[in-house]
Every structure is written in C-alpha cells, then in structure tokens.
Amino acid sequence: MIVQQLINGITQGSIFALLAISFAVIYGVLRLVNFATGATYMMGAFAGWLTVRYISQNIFLAMLAGLCTGWSIGFLIEKVAIKSLRGVARIASLICTIGFSIFMIEIATVIFGAETKAMPSFFNEKAFTLGGATVVWYQLFLIGTAVTILLLLQILIFKTKAGLAIRTVSLDFKTAGLMGINVDRTISLAFSLGGATAGIAGVLGSVYYNIVNPTMGNLQGLKSFSAAVFGGLTSIPGAILGGYLLAIVENFGVQIVSGGYRDIIGFVILVGFLLFRPRGLLGKKTSL
C-alpha cells in the first residue's frame, strides 16, 4: 500500500512538475505568475482529444498537438498580456493572464460544450505488480515522458545559448539587453516554452485521468502553483522537486490522515512557504 501510494504520487507529481516548470520558466524571466497555466493545460488536453478523436488514435500525435497548442497560447499571451502592457503596472499583466484563463475556459465551453469528454486510454495494460501495488504501462510512460521533457528543458536552459539568454534575462534583463540579448524575444521564448510544457502536460494528464473538460485545469493549475512555490518559483530544479514532493506528500497525507485534507495540505504548504520561505526549497533570491 505504501508502494502504491508512492507510485500514485510519482505519477501525479509528474504532471505537477511539468506545470510547475511552466510557472517557473515564466516567473523566472518576468517575475510574473502566469495564471493562465491551468487553462493552457486544459487547451492542450483538448488539442490532444481532437487529435485522437478526429485524426488518429496516436498518443504521440496528440502530444505534438498539445505541444503546438500550448506553444502558440504561450506566445499569444506574451504578445497580449505582456508586450502590449509593457510599462504599465505589473498588476495589469497579472490580471490579464487571469483574463486569458477565463477567456480560454469560456472559449472551450462555447466550442466543445461544458460536458466532460472521454479521453481514451493508451498502454493501459498492467505492467507489473510490486508489493501489492499495480502499475500500468501508461504510468511508466507518463513518468518517463515527463522526466525526458524535464531533462530536455534542463539541458535547454543550462546548456544552450537560448537558455543562457533566458537565465540572464531572469537575473537582470537590463544588463542582458546591454549585452546584446533580445530581451523581448527571450521573454517570448520563455512564454512559449512554458505554454508548450503545460500543453503536453494537458495531454498526458487527460489520458491518465481519461477525461477532458473546460475546468480540468483549474485545480491542477492552482496545485502546481503551490508546488512551484514549494520548490522555489525561481528555480527549475526546485519546481521539479516541488511538483514531485507535493504530490507524494498529498498522497501520503490522504493515507495517513484523510482524503478531505489533501487540498489543505497543498495550500498549507503554499501559505507556509509564502510566509516563511518565499524562495522555496531551492530558489535562490534571483536565479532561475
């Protein structure tokens, strides 16, 4: 049972970690919480759903669709909420991301209807049992994919030129500009990357839970935000750690205390860290 809870936690944590990274990449470069992350997750899920429903029952194609959708949404949010509002109080951009979130949920409701849709399972056969815990192949697939994406992002940010640009903008965008880095383009890239990560997470999550609906990203987005704060909003490794830890803590919280307390656990962590250690477990004061 302990093993099962751990596996449940790691699976759920993979989704949290992807979304937490989406928050962290964007917060890193702009010190802005993108509250449209949950809605982007939802839109990614719908893109995946449309793909398997109308094009091909292929999860990889669905993930590609989620990625592209998320990427475009991130790009668009940056153009509207950030670029056109440059120089206005930060709060305007923040509110604008909330507006985007509402807007996307409404659009999805209008286009697809409020009814929950069924997302088919993939690789749903039992892979193995371990200490009484059942693991299906899809869980391994989900965890593996998430870890791969997280590693790729890690490489992108810490080993490439574009990543160096993102890190410098995150540390000091003015100086970065003076060094010849195109700050606008870098911010735009960070938003697209964050969006793409959320979009893929949407597909992975919807296949795991077998459902797609316009509000599926709300709680997911909120919890991942907690996870990101938990690990350190300004640290990519921190966000990953936060995602996994939050899910594992929640799952064991359910086991030890009760299901009714699971959200409370998440939000106590959020408030606790915001109050006493705002930079989270791994966040440095000013680093991505």
Partner 1 sequence: MSKVLRAILLLAVVLGVVSNGYAAGKQEKAKTDEPVYIALTAPITGDYAEYGNNFKRSVEMAIDKINASGGVLGRKLAVLVGDSKGDPKESATLAQKWTSDPKIVAQIGDFTSTCCLAAQPIYDQAGMVQLSPTASHTKFAQGSKWSFSIVGTQAGEQPFIADYAYNKLGFRKIAVIHINNDWGVDTARYFTDNFKKLGGTITAIENYFDGEKDFTAILTKLRASNPDALFMAAMYNDGASISNQRAKLGWNLPVVGPSSLYSEQLLKLGGDSVNNLYTVVSFFADDPKPEIRAYVTEFEKRYGLKPNFHAALAYDAMMLLADAMKRAGSFDRDKIREALQATKDFPGLAGSITFTEKGDAIKQYTRVMVKNNKFELFDKR
Partner 2 sequence: MFFQMRKVRKTFGGLVAVNDVDLDVQQGTIHAVIGPNGAGKTTLFNCITGLRRADAGEILFEGENITDLPTHRIAAKGIGRTFQNIRLFPYLSVLDNVKVGTHLLNPTTLWDTALKSSRFRKLEKEVEDLCMELLHQTGLSEKKDQYARNLPYGEQRKLEIARALASKPKLLLLDEPAAGMNPAETAELDDFIRSLKAKGITILLIEHDMKLVMSIADTISVIDYGVKIAEGSASEIQSNERVIEAYLGKRRN
Contact partner at residue 86 from partner 1, partner 2, none, CB < 5 to 8 Å by partner kind: partner 1
Touching partner 1, residues 186-215 (CB under 8 A): 205, 209-211, 213-215
Stretch in the footprint of partner 1 (CB under 8 A) among 24-32, 98-106, 143-151, 168-176: 98-106
Q: Are 52 and 178 in contact (CB under 8 A)?
A: no
The answer to whether residue 57 forms part of the interface with partner 1 (CB under 8 A) is no
Contact partner at residue 160 from partner 2, partner 1, none, CB < 5 to 8 Å by partner kind: partner 2
For 129, the token pair is 């049992």
Contact partner at residue 129 from partner 2, partner 1, none, CB < 5 to 8 Å by partner kind: partner 1
Contact partner at residue 164 from partner 1, partner 2, none, CB < 5 to 8 Å by partner kind: partner 2
Stretch in the footprint of partner 1 (CB under 8 A) among 132-140, 154-162, 168-176, 274-282: 132-140
Q: How far is the CB of 173 from partner 2 (least distance, A)?
A: 10
The answer to whether residue 140 forms part of the interface with partner 1 (CB under 8 A) is no
- Residue of 54, 87, 180, 276 that binds partner 1 (CB under 8 A): 87
Burial status of residue 72 (CB atoms within 10 A of its CB: 0-12, 13-18, 19 or more): middle
Q: Give me the residues that bind partner 2 (CB under 8 A), please.
A: 156, 160-162, 164-165, 167-168, 171-172, 174-184, 284, 286-287
The answer to whether residue 267 forms part of the interface with partner 1 (CB under 8 A) is no
Buried b (16+ CB within 10 A) or exposed e, 140-172: ebbbebbeebbeebeebbeeeeebebbbbbbbe
For 66, the token pair is 């989620």
Q: How far is the CB of 8 from partner 2 (least distance, A)?
A: 34
Residue 133 amino acid letter: A
| Of 191, 142, 148, residue with least CA distance to 166 | 191
Q: Which helix (H) or strand (E) holds 133?
A: strand 133-136
| Other C-beta atoms lying within 10 Å of the C-beta of residue 185 | 12
Residues 236 and 98: their CA atoms lie apart, in Å, by 23
Burial status of residue 202 (CB atoms within 10 A of its CB: 0-12, 13-18, 19 or more): buried
CB nearer partner 2, residue 126 or residue 174: 174
| Of 253, 280, 202, residue with least CA distance to 46 | 202
Q: Which residues bind partner 1 (CB under 8 A)?
A: 1, 4-5, 8-9, 11-12, 80, 84-88, 92, 95-96, 99-100, 102-103, 105-106, 109-110, 113-118, 121, 124, 126, 129, 134, 136, 138-139, 205, 209-211, 213-216, 218-220, 250-251, 254-255, 258-260, 262-263
